[in-house]
Amino acid sequence: MDEFATELERARTLPAYDAFNALWTALVRLSNRENAPSEHKRLLDLVGRLSLQKVQQILESPAVHFLASLDPPLETVQTSPHEELRADEVARAFDIIKRSSFCDPQVALKALGEVLKIIRNKREHGFKSADPETRDGKILRAGRDILEMLCVELLPVISAV
């Protein structure tokens, strides 16, 4: 776990554009300790270990609120004519987050995970500005904050195993 803690500390020193990728990679690598057959299922199993209180804290964070209230909404601004937008999927995910945060936080966290995956894919294929003041930069900063919260909360959970 020292390696994971070191990766987390290193990510904290990086700009959001790079930190998002470092934290996503750390989370995926950590999930590879799970026995599920797919990366998606391993990630779900990993975050499923978080307490409901911790999940609710993440769901109520300013970063989640920022992404949910982005204007124009996430996945409605095309950065390239070749880009496929997934506005309906993101809108559905935020609706699930809004409706399920208190009654079924794990379902809401799963929807948030889908949003993070879309941001990750957008970072790889659409977001090309590392400038933290651009729309891309602000989205990546919020995503980075959420990923960091997940990693921080998972560190003691994984260390206990």
Query: Residue 59: what pLDDT?
Result: 97
Q: What is the pTM of this model?
A: 0.92
Query: Residue 156: what pLDDT?
Result: 83
d(CA 50, CA 46): 8
Domain coverage including residue 56: 2-159
d(CA 155, CA 76): 34
Sites in the chain below the pLDDT cut of 50: none
Query: Residue 104: what pLDDT?
Result: 94
Q: What is the tens place of the pLDDT at every residue in 86-97? A: 999 999 999 999
Tokens 């208190």 found at? 102
Q: What is the tens place of the pLDDT at every residue in 66-109? A: 999 999 999 998 877 877 889 999 999 999 999 999 999 999 99
If one counts the domains in the chain, the total is: 1
Cβ partners under 8 Å of residue 87, min gap 6? 73, 74, 75, 76
